[in-house]
Amino acid sequence: QVQLVESGGGLVQAGGSLRLSCAASGRTFSNYIMGWFRQAPGKEREFVASISQSGDGTYYADSVKGRFTISRDNTKKTVDLQMNSLKPEDTAVYLCARRSRWSNEYDLWGQGTQVTVSS
Mean pLDDT of the chain: 96
**Minimal CA–CA distance to 51: which of 101, 113, 107, 115?**
101
Residue-wise pLDDT tens digits, 24-80? 998 889 999 999 999 999 999 999 999 999 999 999 999 999 999 999 999 999 999
Whether 114 has a pLDDT exceeding 90, the answer reads: yes
Whether 88 has a pLDDT exceeding 90, the answer reads: yes
Mean pLDDT along residues 90-117: 96
Whether 1 has a pLDDT exceeding 90, the answer reads: no
Question: Would you state the pLDDT for residue 77?
Answer: 97
For residue 72, give the DSSP letter.
Answer: E
Question: Would you state the pLDDT for residue 27?
Answer: 83
Question: Would you state the pLDDT for residue 69?
Answer: 98
Question: Would you state the pLDDT for residue 2?
Answer: 87
Question: Which alpha helices (DSSP H) does 1-119 contain, by range?
Answer: none
- Are 12 and 117 in contact by the 8 Å Cβ rule? The answer is yes
The whole-angstrom separation of Cα 95 and Cα 113 is 7
Question: Would you state the pLDDT for residue 101?
Answer: 87
Question: Would you state the pLDDT for residue 60?
Answer: 98
